Structures are given as C-alpha cells and as structure tokens.
Structure 1
Amino acid sequence: MKKSLQEKIIDYKRFAFTLLALSVFLYLGVVIPAESKTIFKTYILMGGTAVLLGFSTLFFYKAIKYKKQLSESDEDSLS
C-alpha cells in the first residue's frame, strides 16, 4: 500500500509538471505576436492554457492528498 501511494504521488507530480510546462508553451503562443494569428486562434490558445492549468492544479491536489494519506498511515503504523 505504501509503495503504491508513493508511486501515485510521483506520477501525479509528473503529470502536473508536464501539463504546467505545456500550458506555458501555449501561453507563449498567445503572447508572441504573429501576422497570421486571429482572435479565434488566440481564444483557442487561452482556453487550452486554462484547461491545462486546471488539470495541472487537479493533479497537484491529488498528489498532496495522497501525500497526506501516506503520512497519516505512517503515523498510524508508528503508534
């Protein structure tokens, strides 16, 4: 059980950081000016950035939740 929780924590953190990095690239696409960029493309990029940041936040939240669960199980096993 302990090893499974540790693996989940690591996986969720990796997912979160990957999505965070991808959202940075999408946001750079919004900020950097281009001639062929339309308002529609800008909205798509901003929407994608928001969605990726939301999922990243969700994965960070899950990692924190599992980390708390792991520390609680460690405290229970010590007593």
Structure 2
Amino acid sequence: MEDKKLKQLEAKVADYKQYGFILLSLSIFLFIGLIIPTESTVMTMPELFVGGIIITLTLAVVFHRIAMKTQRQLYEDKQ
C-alpha cells in the first residue's frame, strides 16, 4: 500500500514538472511571436499576447511550486 502511494507521488511530481515546462515553453513561443516583426500582418491586439504570456508564466510557476511541495512530501514519506 505504501509503495503504491509513493509511486503515485512520483508520477504526480513528474506530471507537474512536465506541465510547468510545457507552459514555460508556450510562454516563450508567444513572446517570440510578439517581438519578431512580420511585415505582412499587423498585430491588432498585442495585449492579448502579453496577457497570455503572463498567464502561462504564472501557471508555470504554480505548477513548479506544486511539484516541489509534492516532492517534499514524497521525501518525507520515504523517511
């Protein structure tokens, strides 16, 4: 029973880290799209991109904190 709980916590840590990395990658992609000028199209709503960048960065930080909290709990349960 205890082994099953530890495996679930390890899986949660891995998932939360992956979510954070994906959101960080998405925010970098949006930022690059915001700063690289394109001559054929004109951005009508750059505020939307800035808002998306802020939201994805915030969620990346939240998932990272959850992963660290879960990892701390995992180490405490192992001892």
Asked if TM exceeds 0.5, the reply is: yes
Identity %: 35
Q: Give the structure 2 partner of residue 65 of structure 1.
A: 69
Q: Superposed, which structure 2 residues align to 1:16-55 within 5 Å?
A: 16-35=20-39, 36-38=41-43, 40=45, 42-55=46-59
| Equivalence for 1:2 | 6
Q: How many aligned positions are there?
A: 74
Structure 2: stretches of 5+ with no match in the other structure? none
Give ranges in structure 1 of 5+ residues lacking alignment: none
CA-based RMSD of the aligned residues comes to 1.1
Q: Distance in 2 between matches of 1:37 and 1:59?
A: 34
Residues in 2 aligned to 1:37 and 1:56: alpha-carbon distance in whole angstroms: 29
TM-score when normalising by structure 2: 0.87
